[in-house]
Amino acid sequence: MKARILWLIGCLVLVSCDEAQVSSGEPPSSTPTATAIPSAGQLYLAERVAVATDESLYGLKAGTELKLIEERPTGLLVEAEGMQFEIDPSQTTRNRDLARSLLARTTETKIMPQLTPVELWQIEDRKFLTEENLRRSAEEAHLRSAVDQPRR
């Protein structure tokens, strides 16, 4: 019963937060704020953003084109690469040239030399052996400390 009452109060608070609140002594301001984004034109990511889905975590590069779906009080609902997510307006830009330069910068820094499958396997083997050695040395240190402790 208490949970239902709390839920009802929470819903009422959310509904009341959606209403515009203007003081009676001051007329509402018609100038947009610094983070307000007009609904016309293209929208791009101004910085790299991580998007969590049910299956995985995806990283979207700065400069990725976004499709604005809805402006919400908590942020913008956008779509990119088939995923819908909410984002803070400060993480977006409408400047196409800036978006292109950001995307080009992230693309050129990510270029890696092509490795053969054998080289990739060798790298993976080295990583595995390093992790295995760290795990074993931690186990040995734990066993040594257990043996070195005085018995009571």
Q: Look at residue 28 in the predicted model and tell me its pLDDT.
A: 44
152, pLDDT greater than 80? no
Give the pLDDT confidence of 36-78 residue by residue, as tens digits.
444 556 899 999 888 887 878 888 888 999 999 999 999 999 9
Distance CA 39, CA 77 (A): 12
Q: Look at residue 104 in the predicted model and tell me its pLDDT.
A: 85
Q: Look at residue 115 in the predicted model and tell me its pLDDT.
A: 77
For the chain, the farthest-separated pair of C-alpha atoms sits apart, in whole angstroms, at 79
The dihedral sign for the CA sequence 39, 40, 43, 46: negative
CATH class of the region 38-110: mainly beta
Q: Look at residue 118 in the predicted model and tell me its pLDDT.
A: 85
Domain ranges in the chain? 38-110, 113-141
Distance CA 124, CA 118 (A): 10
Query: Which neighbouring-strand residues pair with 84?
Result: 79
pTM of the predicted model over 0.95: no
Distance CA 81, CA 36 (A): 24
